[in-house]
Amino acid sequence: MSTDHVVVIGGGVMGSSLAYWLTRLAPKLAVTVIERDPSYEYASSALSAASIRQQFSTPANIRISQASIEFLRNVGTELGIGDDRPDIQLREHGYLYLADAGGMARLRRAHELQRALGADVALLDPAELGGTFAWLNTADLSLGALGLRGEGWFDGYALLTAFGRKARSQGARYVKADVCGFDVDAGRVTAVLTSAGARIDCTHAVNAAGPWSRAIAALAGVDLPVFARRRSVYLISCPTDLKPFPLLIDPSGFWIRPDGNRFIAGFSPIDDPDDAPLTPDYAAFESHLWPLLSHRIPAFEAARLERAWAGYFEMNTFDHNAILGTHRSLENLLFMNGFSGHGMQQSPIIGRAVAELILHGRFISLDLSDLLFVRVETNRPLHEANVIG
Ligand SMILES: Cc1cc2nc3c(=O)[nH]c(=O)nc-3n(C[C@H](O)[C@H](O)[C@H](O)COP(=O)(O)OP(=O)(O)OC[C@H]3O[C@@H](n4cnc5c(N)ncnc54)[C@H](O)[C@@H]3O)c2cc1C
């Protein structure tokens, strides 16, 4: 193994988690992370809402979250360097999925699966919802699902930097460069090419380029169904004290959660072109989001928009789930892409899973075969119903 060299394209939370796991599990392995923008100005990992939930509709995603929350709870130990222990400010205040009459059956189905897999999620009828969350308008609601443990939010940028620092301390090398091609020989990538003219030999290459992963895949002749879709995040203040307040998912599609003593919120736009410029859609706050917010939380009629930002979801339009492992055309180019808005929370476990694929040729800790690229190649989608925003 000591002559092996893994080159990871993209040093966001996925690439950095992978670099951390590879250097932890195989300390003699050479690992190079190629990142074109070490400031992470446009990287999803720096623009994320960084929330974690157990409330998914597929077993693979629920199991990933169960393992991820354990990692996040212990992040100070996992990613500490000497006495320097990262603090990602994990807050386990739950997710509250709300359903109207039309969405009740789906919420119940997902809840049954979550409970069967051991997730601590409770169903609340409208009276219970109103009793627990006095600020909530329950008039048009039929049901809510509240995560009691293992759900909440954290500082995603702190997790990103903690992975990177720990990976470096274990020997990973970060290089600032823009990947622009591959050398391929007999179905194997032999080198990663950069726009500065460098040729970096490798035994494995990994596409961890987030919203830009489709372009990286295309350089290797692979059609990856992952598209960059802009999502605006609105930072809002509200004069009324509203506690307790979980991450709320409204039947209309918006989400909102506390952020310190303010709130952040967003929604999934109907008109959703690829690669829209990363300027937030301010107009949509007034015309779309605010009326919905004020309907669900009447105190928000007095809310104020403080500022907004936008980042890209790396949307897998095939089935909204992670795409992992190799494509049949190249045996040593691995993919870790397509997280469709839930990659931050999955990063600790996806990094470990892809490291295991590289080191052992199979998953060891958690079987994530359902997420392999082969399902896309053979047109067997694994649909995730609970995609947010
Ligand atoms: C607004 C928003 C809210 C979100 N909310 C949540 C949430 O609540 N919970 C959750 O789990 N997830 C959430 N996500 C999703 C999550 O942030 C992403 O899934 C995750 O950050 C993806 O990480 P990544 O490392 O794959 O991508 P990125 O962080 O985008 O990293 C990819 C890196 O690749 C680099 N790169 C690209 N092309 C090249 C090249 N040619 N050469 C060299 N480097 C290259 C880029 O510079 C970039 O730094 C959210 C995302 C957004 C945008």
Closest Cα to atom 41, ligand 1: which residue?
A: 179
- Ligand 1 neighbourhood includes 161 CB (under 6 angstroms): no
> Is residue 72 within 6 Å of ligand 1 at its C-beta?
no
Query: pTM for this one?
Result: 0.98
Query: By alpha-carbon position, which residue is closest to atom 31 of ligand 1?
Result: 12
Of 213, 172, 201, which Cα lies nearest the Cα of 323? 213
> Residue 230: is its pLDDT beyond 60?
yes
Distance CA 119, CA 115 (A): 5
What's the confidence (pLDDT) of residue 385? 81
> 107: closest CA among 143, 65, 154, 83?
143
* Residue 192 near residue 179 (C-beta atoms within 8 A): yes
Ligand 1 centroid from CA 211, angstroms: 6
pLDDT at 138: 98
Q: How far is CA 63 from CA 16, 144, 295, 335, in A?
A: 21, 22, 34, 20
**Cβ of 47 less than 6 Å from ligand 1:** yes
HEC letters along 38-85: CCCCCCHHHHCCCEECCCCCCHHHHHHHHHHHHHHHCHHHHCCECCEC
Q: Which of 21, 32, 45 to mutate to test the pocket of ligand 1 (most atoms within 8 A of CB)?
A: 45
Q: How confident is the model at residue 384 (pLDDT cuts 50, 70, 90)?
A: confident
Provide the percentage of residues in the chain whose pLDDT is more than 90. 97
* Neighbouring residues of 82: CB distance < 8 A, sequence distance ≥ 6: none
Whose alpha carbon is nearest atom 35 of ligand 1?
A: 10
Banded model confidence at residue 1, pLDDT cuts 50, 70, 90: very low
Rg (CA), the chain: 21
Reading the block at residue 144, the tokens are 């809510």
pLDDT in the model for residue 389: 65
The pLDDT of 233-252, averaged and rounded, is: 97
- Find out whether the beta carbon of 13 lies less than 6 Å from any atom of ligand 1: yes
User: What pLDDT digit, counting tens, does each position of 55-112 carry?
Assistant: 999 999 999 999 999 999 999 999 999 999 999 999 999 999 999 999 999 999 999 9
What's the mean pLDDT when you consider all of the chain?
A: 97
Question: What pLDDT shows up at residue 333?
Answer: 98
State whether the beta carbon of 231 lies less than 6 angstroms from ligand 1. Answer: yes
CA-proximal residue: ligand 1, atom 15 (nearest):
341
pLDDT, tens digit, 9 for 90 and up, residues 268-297: 998 999 999 999 999 999 999 999 999 999
Distance 387 CA to ligand 1 centre (A): 16
Q: What distance in angstroms lies between residue 385's CA and the mean position of ligand 1's atoms?
A: 21
Tell me, using a 6 A CB cutoff, whether residue 348 lines ligand 1.
no
> Using 50, 70 and 90 to split pLDDT, how confident is the model at 388?
confident
Question: Which residues make beta-bridge pairs with 88?
Answer: none
